Structures are given as C-alpha cells and as structure tokens.
C-alpha cells in the first residue's frame, strides 16, 4: 500500500475531472491511501450541495480530498499564483500524511509535485497527458518565441529529468519524448496508459432505433474541429433521408447550432442536449456510430481522446482523423473505426469523406460490431486495466515488491 498524494489542476467538479480524475482515484483508494488535491472553478464551488455530495463520496471511499479555487485572471499570473499556493498546501499534506509518492496530472500539477519531492523526498510520477507547452502553441495561445513557451519547455525538461516514472497516454508520445536529446540514455521508466473509460457507466443499453443516428459527445471548441464534423453531418443527411445527428454537450450549444447551420444541415434532424456524466453512456446507446475530428498537430501525438473509449465501450464504431495519438493504429488493429488522412496544412482531408461515411454506415451494420467495439474498449481503454497499471507503479515506487509480484 502506498501513501499517495494525487494532484490535479483539473477540477473534480468539471466533466473531465469526473471521468479522468475521480474514477481513477476512487478505484485506487481500494489498495492505497489516497490524498487528493484539485483546483475548482468558483462557480462550481458555489454549488454547495453538489460539492458536499462529492466530498461525502470521496470520504466514503477513504479519499482525503482538498479543493483550492482555480484562478485564470489575469492569464498566466493567476496560474503562477495557483502553483505557489498549491505547492505550499501539497507539501503540508505530504508531511502530514507521510506521503510515499506524489502523482501529478499534467504540467501545472507537476510543478507542485516537484516541490513535494524536493521538500519531502517523495517519489514523483509525471502523468504528462500530452505535450502541454506545444499544445498551447498549436492551439494559437502562445508562439514558439514567447516567454511562457520557453519557460515551460524548460519546465518540461525538469519534469522529465526529475520523474521517477512517466505515464504517457500513447505509444506515439513515448516515441517523441524518448528522442529528446537531453534524455539520451536517461529516459525514466515509462508506462503507456490511454485515457480510460468506466465500463460500468459506458455500455450498450440496447435502445431501439429506427433511424441511423450519428453521435457526438463532449466539447466542440479548442482542438475539436466541429466545422468539419458539421460538413460530415450534411453529407450524411444528403445520402440518407433517415439519418439523424445527436449531440451530447455542456456549454457549447450556440456554437454547435451555428456551425451546423453554416454547413447547411437540416436542424429538424438534429438533437442537442446536456447529460450528467453518469447518463452519457445511456445517450450514446441511442447512436449507431460516433464522430470526432481533432486538430492533428504535433503535440497531439501524445493525446488520447476520452470520447474514443466511451464510444467503443458503448459498442459504437467511429469516424475520426489520423495524426492524433494512436487513433489510427487502434482503429486499424481492432476494425472498429474509420480514419481520414490529414492535409499538409494540418486539417482533415475531406476529399474521400463520402466514401468514409459509407464505410462507417456499413461498419455500424456489420453483425457483431457492437461486441467487437466493446472488446476493444475492454482490452485497450478499460478503467480497471488503467487502475491496475497505476497501482503497479505505486507499489513499485513505494517499495512494495511483494505487492507488485502479486498483481
């Protein structure tokens, strides 16, 4: 059993925190003593009823959750303030709980984790989640000449060199950072743990469907190229009069409608709705197939789309683009999805979109496709498998060799 401090700059009350922090931590708490530090948005903290329910849930699983307020104003300065206050609290928590290791989700949290390692000697797990500084550049937030980018590339170097273990979402990401010159002969132990899905929440509910329904779940801004999704929906509608489009999203409905209307989509055949995290799987069951297009920048080679595992767990094949993490390789190996190539300009090549749509429809109608998708999710994206690998890392770093051998 390892005494672990888990730090996440993503809030536990955010949708991403619900799927990619809470699920892991609660499961890990079965075998390890877990202290959790997160940063929550002010508007979320105002919902005291929801906060208290979440706190009680953590308490019931033995998770000692501490929430700080997330600051983003002024930009960067607010983040630096959070890093400073987070590091102070993290060190106090580590000392009070005699922490063996600090597990940090992405770069901002890892800066706090470095302080814990320096002050207490705890082992440091760098759960990188992606090449964050380069994501900021590829997303048009920073330039490669900007001071923030240069600073965080230096931070990135420190994180890799100080890490006792690195976790990458993709094999592609490992290939990229293993080639960094400063890591020549010094690459730390690495595990590839893709973005995992709770297979108990995401499963096929066998909802009767008379029409062909294409589905989309999650956010539409930033990296997600919803303009191209809208074009695909219109092409689908042109080909099939019975086709429908179902979107499960929180907070982006106006943008979704605008993009679909701009693409000439018949809005009478579109449904846009919100759903609580534990209800998303049931909504996905209303779909025949899923779609997502993500900007294929270099930094996204280390990314694994959360929605990919969720679609597959519900038995739904997908249409996506390559150039992102291991998406193309996973779909090709499991025959559960279609990928479009990317252009030299860094967009989705829509030249063969109609053919891809026809292939997706055919794939969704293949006998046994739902089970094939579910099997792919179980083998590659299961929360149980991800937790087991994290637990193995924890035991090893805490010196529990006997526990590791039993796993």
pLDDT in tens, 157-170: 999 999 999 999 99
**pLDDT tens figures, 227-239:** 999 999 999 999 9
Reference 364, options 373, 352, 351, 376; nearest CA is 373
Residue 342 is classified by DSSP as: B
Q: What is the pLDDT of residue 403?
A: 52
Tokens of 354: 């109609």
Structure-block tokens of residue 8: 């996440």
* pLDDT of res. 405: 43
Interval 32-59: pLDDT, tens: 999 999 999 999 999 999 999 999 999 9
The structure tokens 């060799």 sit at: 401
Residue 236 pLDDT: 98
Q: Which domains does the chain have, with CATH numbers?
A: 3-194+383-406 (3.40.50.2000), 213-380 (3.40.50.2000)
Task: Output the pLDDT for position 207.
Answer: 73
Terminal-to-terminal C-alpha distance of the chain: 12
Express each pLDDT in 23-35 by its tens digit: 999 999 999 999 9
Q: Which is higher by pLDDT, 75 or 375?
A: 375
Sheet containing strand 213-217, edge to edge, reads 270-273, 244-248, 213-217, 289-291, 318-321, 337-340
Q: What is the pLDDT of residues 291-319, one digit of tens each?
A: 999 999 899 999 999 999 999 999 999 99
Distance (Å, whole) CA 310 – CA 332: 18
pLDDT class for 129, splitting at 50, 70, 90? very high
CA distance 155 to 135: 15
| Per-residue pLDDT at 406 exceeds 50 | no
157-190 in b/e form (b: 16+ CB < 10 A) is eebbeebbbbbbbbbbbbebbeeeeeeeeeebeb
Instruction: Give the pLDDT mean for 95-122.
Output: 97
H/E run at residue 154: helix 147-162
Q: pLDDT tens, 233-282?
A: 999 999 999 999 999 998 899 999 999 999 999 999 999 999 998 899 99
Mean pLDDT of the chain: 94
Cα 292 from Cα 200, distance rounded (Å): 23
Band (pLDDT 50/70/90 cuts) for residue 407 is very low
Average pLDDT over every residue of 362-385: 96
From 166, 162, 165, 67, select the one nearest 117 (Cα to Cα): 162
Q: If DSSP codes are grouped into helix, strand and coil, which group holds residue 186?
A: coil
The pair of structure tokens assigned to 30 is: 């079965």
Residue pLDDT, tens place only, 164-221? 999 999 999 999 999 999 999 999 999 999 999 999 999 988 777 778 999 999 999 7
Q: What is the pLDDT of residue 171?
A: 96
């Amino acid at each position: 059993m390892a005494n672990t401090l888990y730090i996440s700059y993503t809030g536990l009350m955010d949708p991403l925190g619900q799927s990619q922090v809470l699920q892991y931590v609660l499961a890990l708490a079965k075998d390890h003593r877990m202290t959790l530090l997160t940063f929550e948005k002010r508007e979320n903290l105002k919902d005291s009823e929801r906060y208290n329910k979440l706190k009680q849930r953590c308490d019931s699983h033995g998770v000692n959750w501490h929430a700080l307020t997330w600051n983003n104003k002024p930009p960067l300065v607010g983040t630096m303030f959070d890093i400073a206050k987070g590091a102070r609290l993290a060190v106090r928590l580590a000392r009070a709980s005699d922490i063996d290791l600090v597990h940090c989700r992405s770069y901002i949290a890892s800066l706090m984790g470095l302080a814990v390692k320096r002050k207490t000697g705890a082992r440091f797990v760098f759960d990188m989640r992606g090449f964050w500084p380069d994501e900021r550049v590829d997303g048009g937030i920073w330039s490669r000449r900007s001071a923030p980018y240069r600073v965080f590339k230096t931070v990135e170097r420190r994180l890799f060199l100080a890490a006792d273990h690195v976790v990458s979402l993709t094999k592609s990401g490992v290939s990229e950072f293993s080639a960094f010159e400063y890591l020549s002969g010094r690459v730390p132990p690495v595990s590839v743990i893709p973005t995992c899905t709770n297979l108990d929440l995401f499963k096929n509910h066998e909802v009767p469907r008379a029409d062909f329904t294409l589905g989309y779940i999650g956010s539409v801004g930033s990296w997600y190229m919803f303009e191209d999704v809208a074009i695909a929906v219109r092409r689908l509608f042109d080909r099939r009069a019975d086709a429908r489009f179902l979107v499960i999203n929180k907070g982006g409905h106006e943008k979704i409608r605008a993009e679909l209307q701009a693409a000439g989509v018949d809005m009478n055949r579109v449904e846009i709705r919100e759903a609580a995290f534990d209800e998303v799987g049931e909504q996905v069951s209303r779909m025949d197939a899923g779609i997502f297009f993500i900007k294929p920048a270099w930094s996204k080679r280390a990314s694994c789309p959360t929605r990919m595992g969720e679609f597959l767990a519900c038995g739904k094949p997908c249409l996506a683009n390559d150039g992102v993490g291991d998406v193309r390789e996973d779909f090709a190996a499991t025959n559960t999805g279609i990928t479009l190539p990317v252009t030299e300009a860094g967009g989705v090549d829509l030249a063969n979109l109609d053919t891809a749509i026809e292939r997706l429809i055919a794939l969704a109608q293949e006998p046994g496709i739902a089970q094939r998708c579910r099997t792919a999710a179980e083998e590659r994206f299961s929360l149980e498998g991800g937790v087991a690998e994290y637990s193995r890392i924890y035991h090893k770093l805490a010196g529990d060799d006997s526990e590791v051998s039993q796993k």
